[in-house]
Amino acid sequence: MTHDERGATAIEYALLAVFIAAVIAASVVIFGQEVRGLFERMPSF
Condensed to tens digits (0 to 9), the pLDDT of residues 4-39 reads 677 789 899 999 999 999 999 999 999 988 888 888
- The H-or-E segment that residue 2 falls in is none
Give how far the C-alpha of residue 45 lies from the chain's centroid of Cα atoms, to the nearest Å. 32
Per-residue pLDDT at 43: 81
Note the pTM of the prediction, 2 decimals. Answer: 0.62
Tally of CA atoms within 13 A in the half-sphere of 33 that contains its CB: 2
Per-residue pLDDT at 3: 54
- Scored b (16 or more CB within 10 A) or e, 7-40 reads eeeeeeeeeeeeeeeeeeeeeeeeeeeeeeeeee
User: Alpha-carbon Rg of the chain, whole angstroms?
Assistant: 19
Per-residue pLDDT at 18: 98
